[in-house]
């Protein structure tokens, strides 16, 4: 059985899919979704929010919302669904901003960095079950969340194919586009990019 879970289940129209309500920031909602399934073999954690909040001067409630969604929400989902997933897999979806930041996206970048390292920690903890844990990282994707940004965007189908290919190959991390590959490669360099003051 395939499940689609969303805060607004009425917005999901996928034939052959059972739609369930879910708010990843609400542990009771997550627990209810896990109880309503029982046969999940692949958990995809792709809930996201982008508030455009800076760390120093930004609204702390918005920064908490980013962390609640990307870090705590992902952790709630993993803890609730892990008993069903022995022999299965988890796909978490951080982003290339797990390794980078820019003005106006500090809260998002920090939350995604936390989700990326959460993915690495959970992979070690669930290896003996065994449950495969894969991280999917990419730059901008042409989704509703990115609609207002005038930047080059990946087609969702291309990212989905990369993710599924990576899962099938047993990869721990899928760098789905050139942006993710370039940003990860840059981590070995000077974080100032030569612009020290």
Q: Report the catalytic residues.
A: 108, 112
| Rounded (5°) CA angle 11-96-46 | 25
DSSP string, 94-141: --GGGS---TT-HHHHHHHHHHHHHHHHHHHHHTTTT-EEEEEE-S-B
| Residue 44 CB partners (closer than 8 Å, separation 6+) | 90, 91, 93
Q: Using CA atoms, how far apart are residues 99 and 193, in angstroms rounded to an integer?
A: 14
Q: Using the structure block, give the residue that is written with the tokens 């612009």.
A: 195
Helices (H), ranges, the chain = 27-35, 60-67, 74-81, 106-126, 156-168, 178-185
């Amino acid at each position: 059985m395939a499940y689609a879970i969303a805060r607004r289940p009425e917005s999901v129209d996928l034939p052959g899919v059972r739609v369930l309500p879910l708010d990843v920031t609400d542990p009771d909602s997550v627990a209810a979704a896990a109880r309503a399934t029982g046969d999940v073999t692949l958990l995809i954690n792709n809930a996201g929010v982008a508030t455009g909040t800076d760390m120093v001067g930004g609204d702390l409630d918005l920064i908490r919302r980013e962390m609640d969604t990307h870090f705590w929400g992902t952790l709630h989902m993993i803890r609730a669904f892990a008993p069903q997933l022995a022999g299965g897999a988890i796909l978490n979806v951080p982003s290339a901003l797990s390794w980078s930041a820019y003005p106006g996206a500090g809260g998002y970048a920090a939350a995604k960095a936390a989700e990326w390292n959460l993915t690495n920690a959970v992979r070690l903890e669930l290896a003996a079950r065994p449950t495969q844990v894969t991280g999917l990282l990419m730059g901008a994707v042409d989704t509703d969340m990115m609609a207002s940004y005038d930047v080059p965007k990946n087609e969702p189908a291309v990212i989905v194919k990369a993710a599924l290919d990576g899962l099938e190959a047993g990869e721990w991390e899928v760098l789905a586009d050139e942006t993710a590959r370039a940003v990860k490669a840059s981590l070995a360099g000077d974080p100032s990019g030569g612009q020290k003051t």
